[in-house]
Amino acid sequence: MVTFNSETRAGFGSSRRDSAECSVERNVPLFMSRGLFVTGTDTGVGKTTVACALTSAWAARGIKVGVMKPCETGDGNDAERLVAASGRPLPLELVRPYAFSLPLSPQVAASRENKDIEIENLQLAFQTLATDADWMVVEGAGGLLVPIAKNFTMADLAKQLDLALLIVARPGLGTINHTLLTVQAALTRNLKVSGFVFSSPHPEPEAETNARVITEHSAVPFLGLLPAIATENLATSAQTHLPRALALLTR
């Protein structure tokens, strides 16, 4: 877990409470937000690459983008990649309030280190970043129903932050079922789904067909396929392959 300094801790609750006892209802939005919550159908589907590409492209257009990876496990560097894509000196203790070494779900990783993830900390970090941003990009960990704390999932966090979802999925075999399940989980929780994108380092001959079938069964728009890209080409790749996703900012 990242330690908050006196400035970033200001305003945090002084008492440590289990998230299940949080005074705020988990399905009630706390903020009126402008931005996206990037989730996936699984871990390792390319959420960070998509989030960084979109962030870099928006930043290149002069948009002040705030980024956040609320919980990161497995000693990853997703938060650093997001900050680099934003082109702004955002403090990591706000971008990534919690980090754990084991590659497990946030709730389990925290428990293995005998720590708690305080939902209020995530809320305040987001609010602090959002006050100095035109647009927020928040990347979840794993899929939509990954638990953050007791009785609290990534879906609950997206709901509290009042962010629409962008679903990242693989383009190949199995993606129809995985993506439709994610959409269903989102809609039953009254979350808005702005669209879905595919991310893949390899060509997938059935990507177009799979995307069409997903949209037919969910009415969720397909916003493009992002192929393997080099870090220095993030903005260009997003502009080339994800123009419909980039247009979400103006809606």
- Is residue 64 annotated as a catalytic residue, yes or no? no
Give the angle 221-226-230 at the CA atoms, nearest 5°: 160
State residue 136 phi and psi, 5-degree precision: -110, 140
CB distance 38 to 138 below 8 Å? yes
State residue 132 phi and psi, 5-degree precision: -120, 35
Report H helices in 26-66: 47-60
Q: How many helices (H) and strands (E) does the chain have?
A: 11, 10
Query: For the purposes of burial, counting CB atoms within 10 Å of the CB of 131, is it exposed (0-12), middle (13-18) or buried (19 or more)?
Result: exposed
Catalytic annotation, pick one of 69, 115, 150, 192:
69
Residues designated as active site: 69
